Structure 1
Amino acid sequence: MVTIADVTKIFDRLYPPALAESWDAVGLVCGDPAAEVQRVYFSVDVVAATVDEALSWGADLLVAHHPLLLRGVTAIPASTPKGNTLHRLIRAGAGLFVAHTNADSADPGVSDALAARLDLRDLRPLHPHPGRENTGIGRIGELPTAMTLAELAETAAHALPPTSGGIRFTGDPDRIVRTVAVSGGAGDSYLGDATRAGVDAFLTADLRHHPASEHSEAGGPALLDVAHWASEQPWLAQAAAALDAALDPATVEVFVSDLVTDPWTRAVVPAWTS
C-alpha cells in the first residue's frame, strides 16, 4: 500500500523543501499522511475547475505547483473560494501537496521541462542556487539549430500549451538566436541574469511593461513573453513520470491535467502592420 506519507517523501527528495524561497508555502497542505493513495492528480493551479476534475476522477491526492494558501490566514470558512476548495478536498478525503519554488529550482525542475519543449541542449541554471550544483531558477541552453527570433516565437507557440494570449516578443524578428534562457512563471526578476549570461533570447512569463522596456532599451537579449500557466504546465508530466519511476512496481495511477487555468480567457488583436 502506498500512503500520502510515501508520496510526500518521494516529492521531498525530488523537490527538496530547502530549495523553496523563504516566502513560499510548500509541502502537504491537507490530508492524512497515513491514508492510502491509489490515484494522484497533477495540476498547476488548485481552483474550482481542477478540483472538480480531480474529484470526478477519484483522486486521493492532488499535486499542484501553485500554493492554495500562500499567505497566512486565520480562518478558512467554506463561504470563501479558497475555504470552499479546502473543505471540498477534506470532505472527499483527498490530500493536497504543493511543490512550488522548490520545483522551480530542482534538477530537473519546472524550467527543465520548459527547456525540453524547445529542445534546448547543455542546460545550466540561469540563477544558480548557492551551494547546490545544477539547481536554481531558470535554465540556459543551446538550440540544436540557430533560428531567427520570429522562428523561435513560432516554435514556442506550437511547443507550449495554447492560451488565448499566445506569445509576445520584442526585438528584431530576423535576429539570429542560438542561446536561449527560459524561466517558468514570472521571470522579470531575472532579466539581469539573462543579460549577464549573454544569451540571445529569454523566454518567460508575466513580463511587466517598465522592466521589459528598460531591458530592451539597454540592448538586452530578445524577450518572449508567454502565459504563466503555459510556462509551467509542461512540468506536470515530468513530475508524474518521476513519481511513476519512484514507485516500483507501479501501484499508483497518475492523471496530468491539461485544463487551461490561465486567468485570461479571451484576447482581441486588431489588424496592424509593423
Structure 2
Amino acid sequence: MPAPLSAVVDALETAYPPRLAESWDAVGLVCGDRTEPVDRVLFCVDPVEETITEAIEGGAGLIVAHHPLLLRGVHGVPADTAKGALVHRLIRAGVALYCAHTNADSADPGVSDALAGAIGLRVLRPLAPHAGDTGSAATGLGRIGELPSAEPLRDFVRRVAEALPRTEPGVLGAGDPDRPIRTVAVSGGAGDSLLDTATAAGVDAYVTADLRHHPAGEHLESPGTVPALVGLTHWASEWPWCAQAADVVRSAFPGTVDVLVSTRCTDPWNIRAQKESAQ
C-alpha cells in the first residue's frame, strides 16, 4: 500500500531534523495534502520546471528537493509569476513538494557526507560542528575526511571530476599540482564562508562550490600553508545527496514507495567556450 504523505515527511524529518536548519532557511512541506497517499517520490536538487515535469511524467506524487522553492518571504503565488506558476502546476497535478535544505546540510549523515563518499573520503568529523545540537556530535556544516593514501593535487582534481556528474563549467583546481593531498574538507553548496575554517583545520585541500574570485584569491595569498582549492558547480556538489535521501525513503517504506533520483542537470550554465590558443 502507498504511504500517507505525513509518514514520508516524518521519515525525512527524522533523517534531516528541521531543528538543524539555519534561522533564515525555509524547510519542510511547501504544498501537498498530508493525508494523501504517496507511492512514488522524485529526489532532486532544484524544484524547477524541468524537474517538476520529470516528476509529473514519471508518476511521482512527491518531489523532495534540496533547495527551497520559496526561500524568501512572499505575499502571494499568482500563476503569472515564475514561482507561482510552479506552485499552481504542482497543485493541479496533485504533486506535493518537500524541501530539506540546511537541515540536510548539517544532518548526520547529510549533504557533505554524500559528497565526501562520492569522492572516496573516509569522514572523520564535521568541518563546522552544529553548536546548538545535542543529539549528535557529528552534525554541522561540511565534513573533514581523508583519502586512503596521498595523491598529487592534479590527480585529486581528476578524481573529483570523475566522481561527480559532468557539468559544462567542470571542476577547477587551485594550488601546486604536485602537492600531496590526503586530508580534505568538503562542503556541499556555496562554501567560501568556510575558507578560514578549512584553513584552521589544517587540511590539504578544500572542495566546495561557488568559490568567488576575491575570497579564493585572498585565501591562496594568505601567509603560511593553506588548503588547495577544488571548485565545483553548486548542483554537482549537492547532487550526491539525492541518492542518500532516496535511501531514507526506500528503507522506511520497502516495497511500497518507489524512489526516483533525477539526473537532469539543473546548473544554469549550459554553454562553455574557451580560446583554442593563447595569444
Per the normalisation by structure 1, the TM-score is: 0.97
CA distance in 1, matches of 2:54, 2:182: 40
After superposition, the CA RMSD in angstroms is: 1.0
CA deviation vs aligned residue, 1:124-178 (integer Å, no higher than 9, x gap): 1001101441000001001012101100000111100110000111111111101
1:231 aligns with 2:237: yes
CA distance in 2, matches of 1:22, 1:228: 21
Letter in 1 for 2:266: T
Residue 141 of structure 2 is matched in structure 1 by 137
Residue 130 of structure 2 contacts residue 141 of structure 2 at CA under 8 Å; is this kept in 1?
A: yes
CA distance in 1, matches of 2:188, 2:75: 31
Deviation at 1:269, TM superposition (A): 2.3
**SS of residue in 2 equivalent to 1:239:** helix
Deviation at 1:61, TM superposition (A): 0.5
In the TM superposition, 1:96-245 aligns within 5 A as 96-130=97-131, 131=133, 132-218=136-222, 219-245=225-251
Moved more, 129-138 or 41-50: 129-138
Deviation at 1:272, TM superposition (A): 5.5
CA distance in 2, matches of 1:221, 1:267: 28
CA distance in 1, matches of 2:81, 2:219: 40
1:41 aligns with 2:42: yes
Question: Where does structure 1 differ by over 4 angstroms across 4 or more consecutive aligned residues?
Answer: none
Q: Which runs of 5+ in 1 are unaligned?
A: none
Deviation at 1:266, TM superposition (A): 1.1
CA distance in 2, matches of 1:183, 1:112: 9
Q: Which runs of 5+ in 2 are unaligned?
A: none
CA distance in 2, matches of 1:101, 1:38: 26
1:263 aligns with 2:268: yes
Residue 19 of structure 2 contacts residue 103 of structure 2 at CA under 8 Å; is this kept in 1?
A: yes
CA deviation vs aligned residue, 1:91-127 (integer Å, no higher than 9, x gap): 0111000000000000000000000011111421001
CA deviation vs aligned residue, 1:173-213 (integer Å, no higher than 9, x gap): 11110100100000001001100000000000001111101
Letter in 1 for 2:191: G
Letter in 1 for 2:244: Q
CA distance in 1, matches of 2:122, 2:44: 26
